[in-house]
Amino acid sequence: MRRFAAWIDPLEAAVGRLRRRPGAASGVVLFSAGGLGDTVLLATVFDRFAGLARPGETLTLVLRADAGAMAFLFDGLAEVATVDFRRLARSPGYRVRTLAGLRARRARLVVSLDHRRHPDLDEALIAACAGERTVGMEPRRWAKYAARLGRARACYAALYDSGPDRLDKVVRWARFADWLAGTERPLPVVALPFARLPPPVTLDSPTVYVQPFSAVAQKQVPVDFLARLIAALPADWRVRLTGTAADLARHPAYRGLIDEPRVTFDGATFRDLLPLLRTARAVISVDTALMHLAAAAGVPTLCLASAAYVDEIVPYAAEICPPNVRFVYCPMPCQGCLGDCQLPAESGMYPCVARLDAAAAAAALRGLLDGG
């Protein structure tokens, strides 16, 4: 990537300056390079950033392409554009077109919403915008790119010190939004605005959704662990296993769950699932996007989590955690590793996942169901 980025980026910038159209800059471009789950969490605080656009201005949210499946959460709030980071890193033609397209927007304000930034990816996109004013957070320390991240500071008019490296993501965003707006508001609870939720779709019978799949296979709990939780549900309740056909193909062991008569597979998209989730009795999920979506929609949600994102994503910080979600995880001396596990896998799982307590998970599930 660095081979061609080093000459493409300055060349595109020079050509862009020569082709610059006359007229005043207008519009706000927000960048978020997180994945699907991060994008759900961003949607819970996005109203605080939407006010940065002036009347009549376009507000654009730029997402990583694989997070685009959650773009519907921003309908009516922002125009969503996506960038394929893989192609950005590997295809010179795609990189030139992407950078030139961002520069052509002539944005008045460009905002990076990310604490961790890569100099050849999101930092390059932000620089290409050449916004009239560009702001962001002080980037997380990254020894490998320290010098280049230092040079990237030149395109920012101001950088906000958002706190320590490990801090709840929603708390960090809320404080950053306050800094941008010059306000000081109470921290938000993790919840999508009720008025922006789709109407619920009534299910034929009491139903629990189970999401066993994660993009990181080491975060998935064993089949028998989930089977134990399913067995604890009332006998007349239905269970829908969620995911994609590709998930089942990669992890065929989970097909065993569907062998039970009351369990079916549901491969619906996030957009189509959300109205159904709103009338589900509960969602049982590993730490993945569906878990955040269910929790933010007010659905009773049990998260079977690794300890990798303690103090940053899950469990949510106590002051923002909604009452409809429970987190079960195994505390570890190395927790908060952000997925960079240095310990040997145990039965194909992160050790913190392999050591999850099934009895504690069942008790947490009973507490959720008893609470309605």
CATH number at residue 45: 3.40.50.2000
Residues 141 and 250 in one domain: no
Nearest alpha-carbon partner for 226 in 256, 249, 206, 184: 256
Domain C-terminal end among 133, 157, 181: 181
Do the domain assignments include residue 186? no
Within-domain flag for 188: no
The low-confidence residues of the chain, meaning pLDDT below 70, are 1-4, 7, 16-22, 372
> 214 and 355: one domain?
yes
318 and 357 within one domain: yes
Helix (H, G, I), strand (E, B) or coil at 120: coil
Contacts of 208 (CB under 8 A, 6+ apart): 230, 233, 237, 238, 239, 240, 280, 281, 282, 283, 284
Cβ burial, residue 282 (10 Å; 0-12/13-18/19+): buried
Question: For the segment 325-367, what is each residue's pLDDT rounded down to a tens digit?
Answer: 999 999 999 999 989 999 999 999 999 999 999 999 999 999 9
Among 166, 163, 169, residue whose Cα is nearest residue 337? 166
* Burial classification of residue 151, based on how many CB atoms lie within 10 Å of its CB (0-12 exposed, 13-18 middle, 19 or more buried): exposed
Query: In the prediction, which pLDDT does 11 show?
Result: 76
The answer for residues whose C-beta is within 8 angstroms of residue 69's C-beta and 6 or more apart is: 36, 269, 270, 271
How much is the pLDDT for 79? Answer: 97
Question: Per DSSP, what are the bridge partners of residue 250?
Answer: none
One domain, residues 247 and 134: no
pLDDT at 22: 64
Can you name the residues that pair with 61 across neighbouring β-strands? 30, 80
Q: How many domains does the chain have?
A: 2
Alpha-helix runs per DSSP H in the chain = 2-18, 36-45, 47-50, 85-90, 92-103, 122-129, 146-152, 169-181, 223-231, 245-250, 255-258, 270-277, 289-296, 351-354, 358-370
- Residue ending a domain, among 181, 212, 237, is 181
Are 85 and 216 members of one domain? no
Range of the domain at 270: 194-366
Distance CA 350, CA 6 (A): 37
pLDDT for res 98: 95
CB under 8 Å to 186, separation ≥6 — which residues?
none
Q: What is the pLDDT of residue 13?
A: 76
Q: Which residue among 181, 202, 225 closes a domain?
A: 181
Tell me: do 16 and 126 sit in the same domain: yes
Q: Which helix (H) or strand (E) holds 282?
A: strand 282-286
